[in-house]
Chain A
């Protein structure tokens, strides 16, 4: 079943092959803040899930018997372009932005950034990076690393994806990857992001109707155990984005035989060494840092929540913070901030108020502008991490102190952006990796990992398949 518009300002945000048009008796209607739009999805029952999964498995057997990764890559890339056009239409754009609590220009920028990973060239490049050839080895072939053994990839017939709502487009990337390796996908979106994945499915329907039967996507309230249990009984693989609660919930419902791939909570930081803080470089650096903070309104796991700044450069941490503030002010016009959730807004405000009070005593303080803030600190304070463009700037005396500041976050670190005078010492990157970071890059590049990044430390495509050996 696929939705036709239910009313003048109602947009359907689901794609559910196998579900008869008359099946859902009820609709869940989400109103889009700040607009007169509503987005609707059907209220599903467990037997609907069964029918959808049956249809997905059957469609996958027909359309993806051998994976056909190259052909699929071309179709997916065309569908992503088509989706991008649909997402620019006025009502869709407003609905995507409104539900996510982001400004429309920010959504545009995010989708443009994400689109780099959705091109045919990028997808075939990813296949080659992962499997050594622009395809998935779906037939036994000699394994050069293990003489005498032939091996092949086996994709689960149906993969269950659970998406977070913080960054639009991540769900699309995730669905594309499972389809690329030859699985059918059933995706559960977040309340903040049901529409874009549905637009992708609809675009796929137009490009390749048979392949579109291998993709189902909708929203239901997270923690609906009776629905999720049913999907997890059927899917052999679950891919979960989200916080610890969401991950725990899926793990607790999944049978032992279902593999769970987790993209759980992570935190990203910037590390600026004194050599980078020259008068000539500082403006560029402040601009890069401001953009990394503002992108996704700082809600992404690649968004820096703190910048650790070494003292003793041409520019002090405090002067750098002032330059950063000017850049954040500039971005407030170009990339307006969205509407944070009430809890995020309250936290942001109070972290800054507390920094201001602390500053009276300790000589540090808060700097703030429209929709952004900087809390000056002498140590990283995880309890004060914010989203929505509030960053800690932490002055440290030397490199050892900078690494010490990162240490309490070992295990939670994801991306660390390093700025130095020339390429940073390899030993620094090694030390950061030892602390658990899965990506070390420049601050400017933080928001946008290359498509072939070993996402959260794992192979982006290989983690979606299993391997079978032929040892005869």
Chain B
């Protein structure tokens, strides 16, 4: 590990530990992002050659927006591992996608300490801004049962740090949802009057709430209870839940709308975006997502990948300093906009419009979902 890489790693770790609400001036973010780029340019020969062909190197990348991004889909084939190695490391895999038997992506995270510090800070800001103590109830499999899943790892980290009242893991890869255990945990918390923090994928919540609705069952979770949901039903992306699901959180669990926070993350990123409704105490207009200040989005032209001005729709790119161990600039195929540092994901429109009879078109739409 070069001295420069090691110093940057320590600096970032300190930054993450100061918290996601500590200010990070844009000029500082820019300096750190370009330093990370320099480390990765030196550390990964394939990335270096890729940048050089684009005429980019640490001497001429003027701002973080100019750092050459790698496509998220490249993680399927290339093991980016340019950054310093920590005491704990992991390889996270994207969810399996069945479309035509495409391979799973792998994100090599050589330094979990950075990952954990980033995840904890953002989770605290967007799920626990009031510093509440909650019982953690997870519909995400435990990291022990799903060691390849970045989502499970994150759930384990946040529950370990912020769940002094304990955590219950009620989703099992082998046997599915433990409905009885889940119901007992929620009733128990209700009796004790202790708030609950529910974690799960939108798909898992939707299936469970459908069952509750069919059975005429509902819970009235104690005041201060909250929920984090994320996509994860398909491909690498964790998609945005519909209005219907949000309404069901209120009807069947007694959660106010602003207490239900959607997370948007990708296996290829070590940091995550969140709704800021719990932080603000109210759900704002639209579906804007915020992040810790060390994760910055931009929208790019789909064809040229040139950065677009604020507010213009394009394909989303993320520059995540917590990705020091792989590549900080990751280009996705998600269509959306960036407004004042917030991400707005565009839905697929128009819905169910027949686009073509070629499988290539079909796969393309799957990817856009």
Contacts of B331 in A (CB 8 A): 350, 353
Pick from B77, B101, B302, B357: contact of A241, CB below 8 A.
Answer: B357
How many residues on the B side are at the interface (Cβ–Cβ under 8 A)? 47
Chain A residues with CB below 8 A from B313, complex form: 342
B102 shortest CB reach to chain A, Å? 3
- A300: interface (CB < 8 Å): yes
A301 in contact with B355 (CB, 8 Å): no
- Contact (Cβ within 8 A) A221 B353: yes
Known: A350-B71, A353-B74, A360-B49. A190 touches B305 (CB 8 A): no
The reply to whether B357 and A166 contact each other, CB–CB distance below 8 Å, is yes
A258 to chain B, nearest CB (A): 18
Say yes or no: is A401 at the interface (Cβ < 8 Å to chain B): no
Contact (A385, B353) CB under 8 Å given A343-B365, A345-B303, A353-B70 = no
Given contacts A354-B77, A357-B70, A358-B78, contact A343 B356 (CB under 8 A): no
Question: Size class of A's contact patch?
Answer: 35 or more
Q: Does chain B have a CB within 8 A of A198?
A: no
Interface centre among B53, B353, B356, B367 (most CB of A within 10 A): B356
Q: Is A222 an interface residue (CB 8 A)?
A: yes
* Total A-B Cβ pairs within 8 A: 193
Interchain nearest-CB distance for A68 vs B (Å)? 31
Residues of A within 8 A of B310 (CB): none
Contacts of A46 in B (CB 8 A): none
Tell whether, in the assembled complex, residue A265 and residue B362 are in contact, meaning their CB atoms are under 8 Å apart.
yes
A343 near B357: Cβ-Cβ < 8 Å? no
A223 close to B352 (CB less than 8 A) = yes
* Contact residues in A for B22 (Cβ distance below 8 Å): none
A409-438 interface (Cβ within 8 A of B): 409, 412
B74:A266 contact, CB within 8 angstroms: no
Complex-state Cα separation, A68 to B324, whole angstroms:
73
Determine chain A's interface SS by DSSP, over half rule. Answer: mixed
Specify the chain A residue showing the minimal Cβ separation from B314.
Answer: A342
Q: In the complex, which residues of chain B have a beta carbon less than 8 angstroms from the beta carbon of A148?
A: none
Residue of A nearest to B102 (CB): A383
User: Measured between C-beta atoms, what is the minimum distance from B176 to chain A in Å?
Assistant: 25
Q: Which residues, 344 to 371 on A, are CB-close (under 8 Å) to B?
A: 344-347, 349-351, 353-354, 356-358, 360-362
A409 close to B100 (CB less than 8 A)? yes
B50 at the interface (CB under 8 A from A): yes
- Interface: B133 (CB within 8 A): no
Partner of B356, one of A166, A362, A382: A166
A374 to chain B, nearest CB (A): 15
A263 within 8 A of B: yes
A298 to B303, CA, bound (A): 17
A18-26, A157-165, A310-318, A462-470 - the one binding chain B: A157-165
Contact at A264–B357, with CB atoms within 8 Å?
A: yes
B364 touches A387 (CB 8 A): yes
Question: Which A residues are in CB contact (< 8 Å) with B365?
Answer: 243, 245, 343
Q: Mark B316-341, 1 if CB is under 8 A from A, else 0.
A: 00000000000000010101000000
Docked Cα-Cα span, A26 to B354, in Å, equals 23
Contact with B along A237-266 (1 / 0, CB 8 A): 000111111100100000000000001111
Are B361 and A265 closer than 8 Å at their CB atoms? yes
Given known pairs A163-B354, A354-B73, A358-B78, the reply for A342 and B315 (CB within 8 Å) is yes
Contacts of A265 in B (CB 8 A): 357-359, 361-362
A412–B101 Cα gap in the complex (Å)?
12
Does B363 sit at the interface, judged by CB under 8 A? yes
Q: Contact: A343 with B354, CB < 8 Å? A: no
A164 touches B350 (CB 8 A): no
Tell me if A303 counts as interface (CB < 8 A to partner B).
yes
Q: Looking at A162, A300, A356, which has the most chain B CB atoms within 10 Å of its CB?
A: A356
> What B residues does A342 contact at CB under 8 A?
302, 313-315, 335
Q: A299-B358, A299-B361, A382-B363 are in contact. Are A350 and B73 (CB under 8 A)?
A: yes
B360→A383 contact, CB < 8 A? no
On whether the beta carbons of A243 and B361 are closer than 8 Å, the reply is yes
Contact in complex: B50, A360 (CB < 8 Å): yes
Residues of A within 8 A of B103 (CB): 381, 383
On chain A, the residues within 8 Å of B333 by CB distance are 343, 346-347, 350
A263-322 residues at the B interface, CB under 8 angstroms = 263-268, 298-301, 303, 305
B99 in the interface (beta carbon within 8 A): yes
Are A357 and B50 neighbours in the complex by a CB distance under 8 Å? yes
**With an 8 A cutoff between CB atoms, is B76 at the interface?**
yes
Q: CB distance A243 to B355 under 8 Å?
A: yes
Per the bound structure, the CA–CA distance linking A311 and B275 in Å amounts to 53
In B75-127, the 8 Å CB interface with A consists of: 76-78, 97, 99-103
B244 at the interface (CB under 8 A from A): no
Q: Are A303 and B358 in contact (CB under 8 A)?
A: yes
Q: A386 near B360 (CB under 8 angstroms)?
A: yes
* Contact of B364 with A242 in the complex, beta carbons under 8 Å: no
- Check B64 for interface membership: any CB of A closer than 8 A: no
Among B49, B70, B364, find the residue whose CB has the most chain A CB atoms closer than 10 A: B364
- Nearest B-chain residue to A268, judged by Cβ: B358
Q: Does B1 contact A (CB under 8 A)?
A: no
A190 to B350, CA, bound (A): 11
User: What residues of A have a CB within 8 angstroms of the CB of B302 in the complex?
Assistant: 342-343, 345-346, 349
> Would you list 22 pairs from A and B whose C-beta atoms are within 8 A, ordered by A residue?
A162-B354, A164-B354, A164-B356, A165-B355, A166-B358, A221-B353, A240-B354, A243-B362, A243-B365, A245-B352, A263-B357, A267-B359, A346-B303, A353-B50, A356-B53, A361-B46, A382-B102, A382-B359, A383-B99, A383-B363, A387-B356, A408-B101
A interface residues, Cβ below 8 angstroms from B: 162-167, 190-192, 221-223, 240-246, 249, 263-268, 298-301, 303, 305, 340, 342-347, 349-351, 353-354, 356-358, 360-362, 381-387, 408-409, 412
User: Interface residues, chain B, CB within 8 Å of chain A?
Assistant: 45-47, 49-50, 53, 70-74, 76-78, 97, 99-103, 302-303, 305, 313-315, 331, 333, 335, 350-365, 367-368
Identify 4 new A-B residue pairs, CB closer than 8 A, beyond the known A221-B351, A362-B77. A243-B355, A265-B358, A265-B359, A351-B71
